[in-house]
A and B are shown apart, each in its own frame.
Chain A
Amino acid sequence: MAQVSHKGFTEAKNLFITEDSIFLREKVNGVLVLEDNIIEVNDLEYSFGEIKAVDNINFVVRRGEIFSFLGPNGAGKSTVINILTTLLPMQKGKVIIADHDLRTEPEKVRESIGIVFQELTLDRDMTVRETLEYHGRLYSMPKAQRQARVNELLNLVELEAKRNVLTRYLSGGMKRRLEIARGLMTRPKVLFMDEPTIGLDPQTRIRIWDYVRDINREGTTIFLTTHYMDEADQLSDYISIIDHGQIIATGKPWELKNALGQDVIYLETSDNQGASDILKKLETVRGVRDKSKGIIVMVNVDGTYLLPEIMDKLRNGGIKIRAVNLKKPSMDDVFVHYTGRELRDTGTEKAVVVKPGRR
């Protein structure tokens, strides 16, 4: 809680937001209310012809937080980002970003945001410095400020040594870091990051997480999308789980996990169906879900002490237990809980390769 509270304090309104204000995220009389929202999205919809990519989405992001969209491929994450960053036209709904209506003041919105796209969008024929320089110029930054900012950012993302290297000669991780630096060039109020660590090695991912936290600590609100559970879990203040264009659940990572109970027990038995029937009757069991070879039991109490009881019950019912595992609920479990399917079914665990440099 302590770590959250410093973020709740905003320069703009000297308004202190407590944990209790969470309820304000819910719709009150059909309208989202909270004064210090930097992003407000109401009834957003978007269709590509017949395909409804975004289906009645509502959410708010508060100033200074890291907010994540967690969802599988094709969930509609990029489409939402493309609408919020004015690259796709608004079809239906209302969006306010940094106090500007997306429909009526798209230019003002553009001035307030930075974007790190899902695909690489670097010009292979420009150097690292020129890439940042170009971006600064696009936003009419004065020369001195541009130069100072370039130095500062190259330092942050550890690319000083590559300053005058063409971007075509950078490694995938370096390119990603450069794109992040570019997104930060203009000190945006909100930074949109669409799957910032896709296709990167574990070390680079962790480094990028560190940048994201640093940037956020300096006051930039971050909206990121990911289909990595751990990423959403590690970074976010709030997560919205999105699937088939709809938000299925929203909350702090721990809130989402708590919804599954205190512990999760995995069992493989001689009769999974029978075991499931027996356990569902227990008061301490919140729910039972089938897996391919076994069952998952979500429990409301400390599993360490409940497990022996469960095993006794099953044995008395004539069911043999082959394997047992006890753990805290993970984001994976949360995802399955809310969507009814596993994220990895949709290809999460496969190596995802960042598009190789084009041209």
Chain B
Amino acid sequence: MHKGFLTIYWRDMLRFVRFRTLLFTSLIQPALWLAFFGIAMSNNFERLTATLPVIPGVRTVGYLTFIGAGVMAMTTLFTSLFGGTVLLFDKNWGLMRETLSSPLPRIHIIVGIGLSAMTKSLIQAAVIMGFGLLLGVHFFEGYTATQILISLFGIMLFIGAFSLGFLFLSAAIAITMESPEGMQAVVTLLTMPFFFTSNALYPANSFPPVLRALSAINPLTHLVSGIRYFAIGSDFSSIGIRYTYTQGEAITSFVALLAFAAVMFLIARWRFTKVTVT
């Protein structure tokens, strides 16, 4: 097999490692979300829900734990959706001419960039999770070491599949757009519906039907549910609402994420066959 995508991966990671400020700045925003929004809101919710009866036999988790998964997912969404920007810059600064005039099949560019964005997302998610645990997010409570390892692996799979899908989407946009400003606008516009129709920060159960339907097909919802399934458990309650999430549902979510990634890959590939750089 042609290992060209590793070349693309290598180059992108090289730049990532070299410019650590990029990594740090990309971590600051989610950290702030957790630290300010998370802690402030959890105090409010705790006060509001203190009077509600505890559902018997079900573990209750705090709001901070609830949105811990949401913030991880949200960060992955942002990082992945903006991850393709590098292709736009490569294109505009002529750097991509070298790659496009080489014998490397174009599909390798997509795969290579996809893998490097996935790596970055995983690193980021791990750091945010660590930060969350320090702040008082109660993940993996009562888990054995083996269960924690399995859970971590599951979370990685979910984040990996999700970030690939959105990176492919981002790559397709980047290769189609002319200017970084345009890309910025489109991506910002895109993040909104994904973000607000998901269950990242608040429960989706209380949405009106239309929003609930949107939420159900939203990949971000599937990612958040997946992370909660592995990090908190299949049956828990938070801010007075009970969440159950079976193994079957988790598998369905994962398959949905894979399907989303596959479709986005096809779109990116189609956009790449159209690109001419001069």
Contact = CB atoms under 8 A, between A and B. Distances in A.
A-B complex is real = yes
A119 interface: yes
A140 B2 contact: yes
Contacts of A125: 14-15, 18-19
A89 B101 contact: no
Interface string A105-144: 0010011010101011111011000100011011110000
Interface in B47-106: 89, 93-95, 97-105
B68 to A, nearest CB: 34
B94 A107 contact: no
Given A110-B101, A137-B10, A87 B277 contact: yes
B154 interface: no
A41 to B, nearest CB: 17
Contacts of B103: 107, 110-111, 138-140
Interface in B1-33: 2-4, 6-7, 10-11, 14-15, 18-19
Given A87-B278, A130-B14, 7 more contacts: A88-B278, A107-B103, A110-B102, A111-B103, A137-B10, A139-B102, A140-B103
A117 B7 CA distance: 21
Label chain A's interface by main secondary structure.
loop
Nearest to A183: B98
Contacts of A85: 101
A86 interface: yes
A322 interface: no
A115 B101 CA distance: 8
B7 A138 contact: yes
Given A121-B97, A121-B98, A125-B19, A138 B104 contact: yes
A350 interface: no
Nearest to A192: B101
Tier of interface size on chain A:
20 to 34
Interface string A202-226: 0000000000000000000000000
Contacts of A89: 276
A123 B2 CA distance: 24
B99 A87 contact: no
11 contacts: A86-B100, A87-B276, A87-B277, A115-B98, A119-B94, A126-B11, A137-B6, A137-B10, A139-B103, A359-B89, A359-B93
A200 to B, nearest CB: 18
Interface in B236-278: 276-278
A87 B101 contact: yes
B88 to A, nearest CB: 12
A111 B95 CA distance: 18
B14 A117 contact: no
A281 interface: no
A13 interface: no
A329 B13 CA distance: 56
A261 B104 CA distance: 50
A176 to B, nearest CB: 14
A111 B103 CA distance: 6
Interface string B138-150: 0000000000000
A79 B278 CA distance: 8
B94 A140 contact: no
Contact of B95 (A88, A123, A137): A123
A82 interface: yes
A74 to B, nearest CB: 14
Interface in A303-359: 358-359
Nearest to A85: B101
A273 B105 CA distance: 63
A87 B97 contact: yes
B276 A138 contact: no
A44 to B, nearest CB: 16
Contact of B14 (A120, A126, A135): A126
Contacts of A138: 4, 7, 98-99, 102-104
Contact of B7 (A87, A110, A137): A137
Nearest to A359: B93
B278 A120 contact: no
